[in-house]
Amino acid sequence: MSTSFSFFQYVMNQLIEIKDIYYCKKLGNYTIYKNGIAIAYLYKDQIFIKKKDGLNLQEYQFCKEDSQYVIVKDIENKKKLKELFEWIYKMETKELELKKIPEKDMEKAIMLIWDVFLEFEGCDYSKEGLIEFQNTLKETQNKIFYGSYASDELIGVLAIREYQHISYFFVKKEYMNQGIGKRLFYYMSKDYEKKEFTVNSSFYAHDIYKHLGFYDIDKLQCINGIRFIPMKYGGNYVKN
């Protein structure tokens, strides 16, 4: 067993002593989860801890930081490390909250959609497509927006319009691959008696929707510079 894993296991044990936190091994990386959120993970012999506002790193000389995480290397001061994790845990105790997005958070929702879109999907769009997508973000009427919140931070957005068609479905980069989008989708679906939904999926999101249970209902299309694959959830599956 490597030194880095032994250290990580120590951290995990300290967290479990605090309360119900679990970890899993995925693709060779060990990750600690709380309420479905990855709060710490091991990568290249370093531990990355999700940052929180109010953390005073001057008290923890063994840490350095980047834009999103506090980075911890193997240290001797385990008591101080435990104090750090106890503080982080207190900041993570609020359950993931799923709800309709209030008007006061709509600007945050639109910015989240745009930022994630640009990073993961925008590169596949023409200039015409980028402009068209940006224009659609101005049309928030006749859409219902659902959000995932972690400690009051909006981390996921799903918008649905008439005929139960999903207009937008995005999760912040640092919260991807943790089941948050799936939980948001099922939360939204509870509001509809008929569990049938459609979406015009991008190439990037195609496998994600398939994993949720969507299937293709038509071939690749391109309208106003936006390329998409029409998909459906529920109903009778007819193979094209």
The string of DSSP codes covering 106-150 is HHHHHHHHHHHHHHHTGGGS-HHHHHHHHHHTT--TTEEEEEEEE
- For residue 160 the two structure tokens come to 């649905």
Question: Is there a domain that residue 33 lies in?
Answer: yes
Residue where one domain finishes, among candidates 39, 57, 92: 92
Q: List the one residue out of 189, 219, 180 whose CA is nearest residue 201.
A: 219
Question: Residues 157, 47: one domain?
Answer: no
Question: Residues 136, 112: one domain?
Answer: yes
Question: Residues 77, 116: one domain?
Answer: no
Domain at 117, CATH number: 3.40.630.30
Question: Residues 124, 190: one domain?
Answer: yes
Question: Is there a domain that residue 18 lies in?
Answer: yes
d(CA 129, CA 135): 10
Q: In tens digits, what is the pLDDT along the chain, a chain of 240 residues?
A: 344 445 555 555 554 444 444 444 443 455 655 555 566 666 655 666 666 544 454 444 444 555 566 666 554 555 555 555 555 555 444 467 899 999 999 999 999 999 999 999 998 889 999 999 999 999 898 999 999 998 788 999 999 999 999 999 999 987 887 778 988 999 999 999 999 999 999 999 999 999 899 999 999 999 999 999 999 999 876 555
Question: Is there a domain that residue 11 lies in?
Answer: yes
Work out the end-to-end distance of the chain between its first and last CA atoms, rounded to an integer number of angstroms.
51
Question: Residues 187, 108: one domain?
Answer: yes
Range of the domain at 181: 97-233
Q: Number of C-alpha atoms within 13 angstroms, CB side, residue 161?
A: 11
pLDDT confidence of residue 65: 54
pLDDT confidence of residue 60: 47
- What is the number of other CB atoms lying within 10 angstroms of the CB of residue 134? 14
Which is it for the CA torsion 6, 8, 11, 12, positive or negative?
Answer: negative
Question: Is there a domain that residue 176 lies in?
Answer: yes
Q: What is the pTM of this model?
A: 0.63
